[in-house]
Every structure is written in C-alpha cells, then in structure tokens.
Structure 1
C-alpha cells in the first residue's frame, strides 16, 4: 500500500469498469477511502471486494446519473455519509459514448449525452467544490478524451461534451482554485481493460509513439498524481494520456 492519498476520501463516478475501476483501485492502493459509484451493483461490489482484498477501503454508492440537480446532489450526499462526512477528491468519469453522426443524433440522444457527460459533473462540482473550499482544499479530476480537439466524424455528441468538460475544467480552476481546490482533467487515448483483445479502436492508436491501446492503469496513475498533494501547482490543466495520439501526426498506412 502507498501513502500518496493517505487520509483522503474520494468519490469516483463510472467506477465499476475500465478507467473508473482502475482509478478507484489505484486511489485505494494509495491510502484513500473510496466511494465507488456506478449503476451496476454486482460490478460495484466486485470493485469493493477487490479493493478490500488488496488491503484498501472502498464502499459502493449506486447512482444512475441523469443530469438533474437532485440526482447529482443525492449522490454527493450519500457519498459524504459513506466516507465519514466529506469528499476530498471528486473524479468525474462516468460517460456515455453514442456512435452516430449529426443527422443520426436526435434530440433525446443529444440530451442523454449532455446529461451524463456534462450536467452531472457540473452539479457534482457545484455541490462538492464549495464544501472542499470551506475546508481549505480538495481536488477535482475530470475525464476528457483525445477526441475533444481534432475533428472526429461519427461521435459528434460525445466529442462536443468532452470539449465542454475541458472548458469547464479551466473555468472551475479559476473559480475554486483561489480557495485551494485544484481542478484538472485527463484526456485518455483509446483505453481497454484487456488491451490485447482485438478492438477496432486499435486503429486510432496505430502510428502513435505508444503504438497500441492503453491499459486503464495508465489513466489511473495520472489521476493519482493529479489528486495528490504533490500536484499543488497544477490548476486547470488537461493532461494527455493518449500514447502521443494528439501530439504527433498519424498517417493511415
């Protein structure tokens, strides 16, 4: 067990699989008491059991984030109670990724993406960041995507939502940073729990410096760093953990 997050409490949304699970497990391995949040109770319990088996502390706090104030505030309230009265670190990781172009994206689909990917983080920050500030500090880590910046056909609602998260990250850093709350983001490349399994996303990583799909642990390591006190000088940043996908020209071969 490490100590980089010793004594801290953390709420991780979308924490029952892939990036969110890896973040929750990494936080617990560094000493944090973690509220694992997601929709699937079975998978949530599995994460909690894995954390306990490794000597960490975690509790499952179910939530089906729908973008409403009531649902986000209810999750924040239950997470605080489960963690002993406070949340020191918020990781906004839950997201939906519909694959559709502009003409194929109807109003209901767009609203659903905006609800989970933007409104839920917005209202969680609105509820939890002021409490962090009142205690003298805290950290928010948002999950963006490498696709938020280049033009990308076929996932337009998702990429727009992630671009919004990057702007909000800077806005929240300006708003809450002076009170000691650090707000940053991570932009992952293509990430899979089993990076060796054949996956169409592998084509997006071909030709990058890393050259292949990333494991969730790569994102979790960055999240630990941004959540820890060692990142005291990092505010409003978006850390690219994308294998170099956004930094170099990639040519189809």
Structure 2
C-alpha cells in the first residue's frame, strides 16, 4: 500500500472529489482526518467510509476554512490523534457563477476567502508541523479555469489562478524542508458543486470541447492525489497536474 502509516488531512472531504480522495487514501493505508464545514457532515463521510473499510483509522473534523483559529484547532485535533501530519490536501472550495456586473464585493471576497486564503492558512499551519517532522506532501485542488479563465466565473477562476501561484511559490519556499507542494487541476467533474453551477447546455458544450468527450467521475481524479501524496513523487514539486480529459493542453 502506497500510503501505509501516513497521516493525512483532507479538507472538503465530506463529498465529491474530497470524498473520493479520502476513499483512495484509505485504500492505500493512510490514516485520514476527514474534514468538512460541519462535524456532522464529516461524520457522515466517515461512517460511509467505514462501511467499506471497517478497520480504517479515520476521524471527522469540522473546520471553518476561512478561520485561522479553526484551522489551528483542526491541526491540534489531528496531532492529538496521530502526533504527525504527512499529507495535506486543500480541497475545500466554493464556486460562483455570476456576471461581473452582478457580482458584489462580498460575492467576490467570499470565494477568495475560502478558495485561496483558506488553503494559504492551512499550508502555513501544517507546514510548520511538517518542518519539525522531516517533510511532507501538500496537494492543492486547482481547476482548468486556473489556466485560461471562465465566463461568469470571475471570482472562481481568480481564486484558482491564485492557487497555482500559491502552489509554485510555496514549493520554492518549503522545498528546503523536504515539503513538496503540488496541485491537481480537474476539468468537468460530476460533483454536486458542478451540478449547482453548470446547466445542461453548458455541460454539453464542455463535453464537446473535451477530447475524451465526457465529464469525469470524482474517483477518476483520486489517482493523481495518491501519486502526489506517495513516495512515488518524492522529486515532484511545484507541478500542476491537469486531470481534465485533455481539455487544457
């Protein structure tokens, strides 16, 4: 198993891509802190994982990804359980589909606060722990729109461009501590978030311009996260892996 005895924090793990990554990590032997915006949703995800992996070491954690104090408490909870953090997956995020003339300051700021400031705060907190334990792997969730933007997605695409910059800058700063920082950039994935922000016409258009001709299931992205979390990628840092059916080339 590629992640045996490794401990991982996964934010936004109660559903969608985050849940699929948690499932893949558990399958590979990791101990996983399943983090959601509410501890109740995190507990439901843990219960679901336990159905398939009854022996898995899992803890549910509720965290407000926009709050430094809440993030610090999340880290404290994980360290009390396992005494180390080997892997951080910054997956929690929100989207917003509004024309720029309809987007308020708060609309824009709230997306940046969760999608970009939140991962920065998590990295700052967790990297300090990893530094004291000889290193680790940090994986951010970016997006195809972090490469070329998106109509009606001013805030979301800006946050994902920011994630790419955060990934590369942190890789340069933290490499000296054997902390690797990479990102996975999904294309169109069949998640609840996409269902709420992309209508049928938009989905069909995305399918047409995707070389593989379809949207992805969340589990089809999980392998990229496993690779970046494992010792298979010990010389990989500052990289954005596009898992988008060939949409961005």
After TM superposition, the score normalised by the length of structure 2 is 0.91
Residue 77 of structure 2 aligns with which residue?
78
- 2:104 maps to which of 101, 106, 111: 106
Partner of 1:231: 233
CA distance in 1, matches of 2:73, 2:40: 21
Q: Deviation of residue 206 (structure 1)?
A: 2.0
Equivalent of 1:49 in 44, 47, 50? 47
Q: Distance in 2 between matches of 1:219 and 1:26?
A: 10
Judging by fraction of residues, say which structure has more helix. 2
SS at match of 1:27: helix
Whether 2:135 is the aligned partner of 1:133: answer no
The Cα of 1:57 is off from its aligned counterpart by: 2.2
Partners of 1:211 and 1:35 in 2: how far apart? 35
Question: Any idea what SS the aligned residue of 1:61 has?
Answer: strand
Q: Which runs of 5+ in 1 are unaligned?
A: 248-253
Question: Does the 8 A contact of 2:187 with 2:243 survive in 1?
Answer: yes
Residue aligning to 2:207: 205
Q: Could you tell me which residue of structure 2 aligns to residue 63 of structure 1?
A: 63
CA deviation profile, 1:146-194 (whole Å, cap 9, x unmatched): 0112132101100000000000100110011121111000000011159
Distance in 1 (alpha carbons) for counterparts of 2:149 and 2:171: 26
Q: Mean alpha-carbon deviation: is it higher for 110-119 or for 9-18?
A: 110-119
**Are 2:121 and 1:119 equivalent residues in the alignment?**
no
Pairing 1:240–2:242 present: yes
Provide the TM-score with structure 1 as the length reference. Answer: 0.90
Per-residue deviation at 1:5? 0.3
- In structure 2, the residue matched to 1:37 is 35
CA drift at 1:110:
1.5
CA contact (8 A) 1:186 1:241 kept: yes
Give me the whole-angstrom Cα distance separating, in 2, the residues matched to 1:11 and 1:151: 29
| Structure 2 residue corresponding to 1:166, chosen from 140, 164, 167 | 164
Distance 1:120 1:77 in 2: 17
Q: Secondary structure at the match of 2:102?
A: coil
Q: Distance in 2 between matches of 1:158 and 1:214?
A: 20
CA shift, 1:50, in A, is 2.7
In the alignment, what sits opposite 1:4?
Answer: 2
The question of whether the paired residues in 2 share the 8 Å contact of 1:51 and 1:57 is answered with no
Q: Residue 149 of structure 1: SS of its match in structure 2?
A: helix
The root-mean-square deviation of aligned C-alpha atoms, in Å, is: 1.7
State the Cα distance separating 1:132 from its structure 2 match: 0.7
Runs of 4+ in structure 1 off by over 4 angstroms are 197-200
Deviation of the 1:79 alpha carbon: 2.6
1:148 lines up with 2:141 in the alignment = no
